[in-house]
Structure 1
Amino acid sequence: MNRYERTRVLVGGDPGVAQAIAAEIEEICEVEVLDAPREELVMVKVRESARNSLFYLGEALMCSCRVRIADAMGFGYVLGSKRNAAYNLALIDAAFSSGEEFERMPKWEERIEKEAKRQRDKRAKNRALIERTRVDFSTMDGDA
């Protein structure tokens, strides 16, 4: 699983998964916090579909954090005011970016994969619920 997919799963999933993995990383690694978790405002860029042009919709609150494990930097960015989530993401990012083969890394990858599967199953279930209510207008009689 690459960095983008891993981050997507951890941000959109159960926060307990990231918390547990981050706690294990803190136990076995020396973590240097470069930028403590803090709240920031970022501009939200949107593409307008009619003209295909970009514009700024407005500002959004986010939390960011930056840590270092050995020579690897880790970054955590989360929308909203979730400082712990940003810190946990930064720790996990640094551990996976470090290039070191931690003894527990296969276990962490397995937990992230399990969470990804849970999210996929939940989306499939929601799609199935929506599909039950879909109306096929081509079967309606136009003579009415």
Structure 2
Amino acid sequence: MDKKLDNMNEKLDNIDKKQMTKVLVRADRSDVATLSKNIQKSYKPIIVKEPAKALAMIKLRDPVKQGLFYLGEVIVCEAVVEIDGEQGIAVIMGDDADKVLDMAIIDAAVKLGVFDDYQKLKELEKKQNERLMQENAMTLNTMVNFTSMDGEAPDDLAANKKA
């Protein structure tokens, strides 16, 4: 068991579990399916829990009082699989049953220490970051520069007081 963890940690040195999940959630269904199919060529996953819809509460922290509160509910899809005794679990927002099942298979393969497509994950992450930067650049073009307005405000106020 320790050998599996060492193997997993060695391969995950550049990408941690949280980061990997983030990449998979943002990835297209076809990319996740490709990663899953590569695993299924060598291993036969057993579906422990079929993909199913559920409701999950969205918890947020109030920025002023720092208290937790529930914003509302969101539909999620969840699945559990097993590969050679290792369980893989996935939960994503929405109702994409195929994607959540593929993500659970990938999770089980990572836990088992047999997932080898870390380079593909890094490529997906790079593409996602590039797309995010493009979207941010487009949004930045529409941003209002309030500092130019600040220079005008005191003069306008002074003129109004004299009148």
Same fold (TM over 0.5): yes
Aligned-pair CA distance for 1:58: 2.0
CA distance in 2, matches of 1:32, 1:55: 37
Residue from 140, 144, 148 that aligns with 1:139: 148
C-alpha deviations, 1:96-126, integer Å up to 9, x for none? 11023x6xx1xx2122111101110011111
RMSD: 1.5
Identity %: 27
The equivalent of 1:34 in structure 2 is 48
C-alpha deviations, 1:26-62, integer Å up to 9, x for none? 1210211111111111122121222111112222111
Q: Does the Cα contact within 8 Å between 1:14 and 1:115 map onto a contact in 2?
A: no
Q: Which residue identity is paired with 2:56?
A: V
Secondary structure at the residue paired with 1:51? coil
The equivalent of 2:134 in structure 1 is 125
Q: Higher helix fraction: Structure 1 or Structure 2? A: 2
Residue from 70, 78, 97 that aligns with 1:56: 70
Q: Which of these two proteins has the greater Rg computed from alpha carbons? A: 2
Q: Does 2:125 correspond to 1:111?
A: no
> Number of residue pairs matched?
139
Q: What 5-or-longer segments of structure 2 have no aligned partner?
A: 1-14, 157-163
Given the two structures, how large is their TM-score scaled by the length of structure 1? 0.88
The equivalent of 1:78 in structure 2 is 92
Q: Higher strand fraction: Structure 1 or Structure 2? A: 1
Taking structure 1 as reference, are residues 57 and 137 closer, same or farther at Cα in structure 2, changes over 3 Å only? closer
Which range is displaced more, 114-123 or 24-33? 24-33
Q: What 5-or-longer segments of structure 1 have no aligned partner?
A: none
